């Protein structure tokens, strides 16, 4: 059971103490070429959450490998690198470039950014090509904006993903109080925060049943209770997103709250709570989840 | 960067604005121009506020109630508590010879603390109405202009300009005074470099106002 940050919700270099309070740091998504991101304004608070349309702003893989990764390594926190591309070959190339970097513990495939126009190829193809390019553990981050997320999860599993990151943001729109025009320059943006939690729970629940893969559950966690619910739905680990913006002390707080929730539950180890929401927590799923999770320790 | 739960010690009305005072506790005031993230009660995200004044044992923030977060902050009462993170970002460089402070509207917020740090140099403050201009009482030695007069009309050359205000004002000041130090504002969710909500492009690179700013040299910013 790990507590991570959701990609794009923490910069370990500007907030190293926060990164060190996590079990692993997940980078903002890196793309083959540098990206400025979308025009401002690119964030807007809404009731129970926020919208963002950052647009994968990042320095590109060359600069990331040369400048960012060596500095991240100095923090001595396990590093998961999130990668994003616009074609199958781009994901494969990114994974290939990361494969021989010992400081990278795992790779997260961001196949679900809602803030870019180019729609990548099918999840199965991306995962298969990435799998062929690296021996690192691969976590595939899925969008909840799909008719049947379990189907997508099964395709990712068949193509060789080691785990799933659930969920990415889902498109939402906010209008200006006075003008009634969209508050973000791009119009819609990814909804995160407390409003996303029921959507995340549904996705984790469905994908746990469908695949038994280890799942990093995320979406609207603000408390240990929220984390526990995602674990009960099937998450083997959890990631904190929007709450890190408001409360950089959230990892330590939520870790303590979760421990007390587990103690109250009386199930012993936290791993015993994985999948509790299901009628029959599949023993085989839990075993698969644990062994794969251990492979990235 | 430190986060603490601070107790509200006062909330005074100054024109349309509220001067919110909190007990300083373990928080450091930082350098003028730096900012703090203030928990906005009942809202998902905190709000960035530059430090306005440093009364003994307190920190004070000047807040314009323009949205749900700032309205919630202005509604705080003495005894209420809120989480505060900071100081954050880069403040003004104070090693200048002939300082002149220039503020527009709620952009006057960081100037009282800056004025104290610089020994109360001259200031020019612009407001949209006499009611808004009541905030000028916080800045010693201030000349006040009210629309339709703009601060740039009162600027005289030969000063080291420190400015804070709306974007068009900063752009106009930057044209007249390329060496000016400008404090910018942008929507930001975190204040510590994570969200990229406040990112701007400077010299072909992505800079986050919360990390590289909010004070930037006028010549560094493509107007």
Helix (H, G, I), strand (E, B) or coil at B117: helix
B-interface mutation test, from A4, A10, A11, A28, most B Cβ less than 10 A away: A11
Q: Tell me the CATH number of domain B99-220, given options 3.40.50.80, 3.40.50.410, 3.40.190.10, 2.60.20.30.
A: 3.40.50.80
Q: How far is CA B100 from CA A297, B42, B160, in A?
A: 57, 39, 6
**Pair A263, A228: CB distance under 8 Å:** no
The two domains B2-88 and B99-220 share their CATH topology (first three levels equal): no
A93 Cβ contact partners less than 8 Å away, ≥ 6 residues apart: A32, A85, A133
Helix (H, G, I), strand (E, B) or coil at A78: coil
Distance separating alpha carbons of residues B102 and B84, to the nearest angstrom:
27
**Pair A195, A55: CB distance under 8 Å:** no
- Burial label, B79 (beta-carbon count in 10 A; 0-12, 13-18, 19+): exposed
Per-residue DSSP letter, B98: S
> Look-up: residue for tokens 């990093």?
A216
Distance separating alpha carbons of residues A174 and A46, to the nearest angstrom:
7
Q: Which of A190, A171, A258 is nearest to A223 (CA)?
A: A258
As a CATH number, domain A3-38+55-172+195-294 is: 3.20.20.70
Predicted pLDDT at A279: 84
- Is a pLDDT exceeding 50 seen at residue B213? yes
Distance separating alpha carbons of residues A109 and A118, to the nearest angstrom:
16
- Burial label, A269 (beta-carbon count in 10 A; 0-12, 13-18, 19+): exposed
Distance separating alpha carbons of residues A11 and A44, to the nearest angstrom:
20
Contact A14 B45 (CB under 8 A): no
Helix (H, G, I), strand (E, B) or coil at A65: helix
Q: How many CB atoms lie within 10 A of CB A178?
A: 6
The band of B218, judged by pLDDT with boundaries at 50, 70 and 90, is confident
Q: Which residues on chain B place their C-beta less than 8 Å from a C-beta of chain A?
A: 1, 3, 39, 43-46, 67-69, 83, 85, 186-190, 192-201, 206, 211
Distance separating alpha carbons of residues A209 and B12, to the nearest angstrom:
57
Q: Which of A3, A40, A9, A7 is nearest to A22 (CA)?
A: A3
Contact A11 B200 (CB under 8 A): no
| E strand or H helix at A16 | helix A16-20
In sequence order, what are the beta bridge partners of A237? A216
More confident residue, B1 or A50: A50
Distance separating alpha carbons of residues B57 and A102, to the nearest angstrom:
49
> Out of A49, A52, A244, whose CB is closest to B44?
A49
| E strand or H helix at B102 | strand B99-104
> Measured between CA atoms, how close is A58 to chain B, in angstroms?
8
Contact B194 A9 (CB under 8 A): yes
The architecture that CATH gives domain B2-88 is: Beta Barrel (2.40)
Predicted pLDDT at A36: 87
Predicted pLDDT at A289: 44
Q: Which of B165, B11, B29 is nearest to B84 (CA)?
A: B29
Tell me the per-residue pLDDT of B104-135, one tens digit each, with 9 for 90 and over. Answer: 999 999 999 999 999 999 999 999 999 999 99
Q: Which residues on chain A place their C-beta less than 8 Å from a C-beta of chain B?
A: 8-11, 13-15, 18, 28, 36-37, 40-46, 48-50, 52, 54, 57, 59, 177, 193-194, 242, 244-249
**Pair A290, A271: CB distance under 8 Å:** yes
> Look-up: residue for tokens 């913006």?
A245
A-interface mutation test, from B3, B67, B197, B208, most A Cβ less than 10 A away: B197
| Domain locations along chain B | 2-88, 99-220
Pairing of strands A138-142, A163-166: parallel
Sign, CA torsion A20/A263/B5/B72: positive
Contact A248 B192 (CB under 8 A): yes
> Measured between CA atoms, how close is B87 to chain A, in angstroms?
13
Tell me the per-residue pLDDT of B125-177, one tens digit each, with 9 for 90 and over. Answer: 999 999 999 999 999 999 999 999 999 999 999 999 999 999 999 999 999 99
| Domain locations along chain A | 3-38+55-172+195-294
Mark out the alpha helices in B56-184 (DSSP H runs).
68-74, 111-118, 151-154, 167-176
- Length of chain A, in residues: 297
- Which residues of A participate in catalysis according to the annotation? 113
Pairing of strands A79-83, A49-52: unpaired
pLDDT tens for chain A, 297 residues long, are 999 999 999 999 999 999 999 999 999 999 999 998 898 899 999 999 999 999 999 999 999 999 999 999 999 999 999 999 999 999 999 999 999 999 999 999 999 876 665 555 689 999 999 999 999 999 999 999 999 999 999 999 999 999 999 999 999 999 999 999 999 999 999 999 999 999 999 999 999 999 999 999 999 999 999 999 999 999 999 999 999 999 999 999 999 999 999 999 999 999 999 999 998 755 444 444 444 444 444
């Amino acid at each position: 059971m790990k507590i991570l940050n959701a990609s794009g919700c923490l910069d370990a270099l500007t907030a190293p103490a926060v990164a060190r309070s996590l079990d692993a740091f997940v980078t903002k998504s890196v793309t083959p070429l540098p990206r400025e991101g979308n025009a401002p304004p690119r964030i807007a608070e809404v009731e129970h959450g926020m919208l963002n349309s950052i647009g994968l702003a990042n320095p590109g893989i060359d600069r990331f490998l040369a400048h960012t990764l060596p500095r991240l390594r100095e923090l001595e926190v396990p590093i998961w690198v999130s990668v994003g591309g616009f074609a199958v070959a781009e994901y494969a190339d990114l994974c290939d470039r990361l494969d021989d970097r010992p400081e990278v513990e795992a790779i997260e495939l961001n196949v679900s950014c809602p803030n870019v126009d180019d729609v990548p190829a099918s999840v199965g193809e991306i995962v298969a090509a990435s799998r062929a390019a690296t021996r690192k553990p691969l976590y595939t981050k899925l969008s909840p904006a799909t008719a049947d997320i379990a189907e997508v999860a099964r395709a990712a599993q068949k193509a060789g993903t080691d785990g799933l990151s659930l969920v990415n943001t889902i498109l939402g729109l906010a209008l200006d109080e006075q003008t009634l025009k969209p508050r973000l320059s791009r119009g819609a943006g990814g909804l995160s925060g407390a409003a996303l939690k029921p959507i995340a729970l549904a996705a984790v629940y469905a994908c746990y049943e469908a695949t038994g893969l280890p799942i990093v559950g995320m979406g609207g966690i603000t408390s240990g209770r929220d984390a526990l619910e995602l674990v009960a739905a099937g998450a083997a680990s959890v990631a904190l997103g929007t709450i890190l913006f408001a409360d950089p002390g959230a990892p330590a707080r939520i870790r303590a709250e979760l421990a007390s929730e587990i103690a109250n539950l009386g199930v012993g180890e936290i791993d015993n709570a994985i999948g509790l929401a299901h009628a029959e927590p599949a023993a085989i799923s839990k075993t698969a989840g644990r062994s794969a999770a251990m492979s990235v320790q | 960067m430190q986060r603490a739960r601070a107790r509200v010690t006062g909330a005074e009305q100054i024109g349309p604005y509220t001067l919110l005072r909190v007990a300083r506790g373990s928080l450091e005031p930082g350098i003028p121009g730096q900012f703090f993230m203030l928990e906005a009660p009942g809202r998902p995200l905190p709000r960035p506020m530059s430090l306005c004044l440093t009364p003994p044992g307190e920190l004070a923030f000047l807040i314009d109630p323009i949205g749900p977060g700032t309205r919630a902050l202005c509604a705080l009462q003495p005894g209420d508590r809120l989480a505060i993170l900071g100081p954050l970002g880069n403040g003004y460089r104070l090693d200048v010879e002939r300082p002149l402070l220039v503020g527009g509207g709620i952009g006057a917020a960081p100037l009282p603390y800056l004025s104290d740090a610089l020994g109360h140099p001259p200031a020019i403050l612009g407001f949209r109405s006499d009611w808004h201009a009541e905030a000028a009482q916080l800045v010693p030695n201030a000349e006040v202009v009210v629309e339709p007069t703009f601060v740039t009309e009162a600027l005289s050359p030969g000063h080291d300009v420190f400015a804070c205000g709306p974007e068009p004002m900063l752009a106009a000041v930057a044209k007249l005074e390329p060496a000016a130090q400008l404090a910018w504002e942008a929507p930001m969710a975190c204040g510590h470099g994570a969200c990229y909500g406040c990112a701007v492009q400077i010299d072909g690179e992505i800079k986050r106002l919360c990390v590289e700013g909010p004070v930037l040299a006028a010549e560094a910013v493509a107007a």
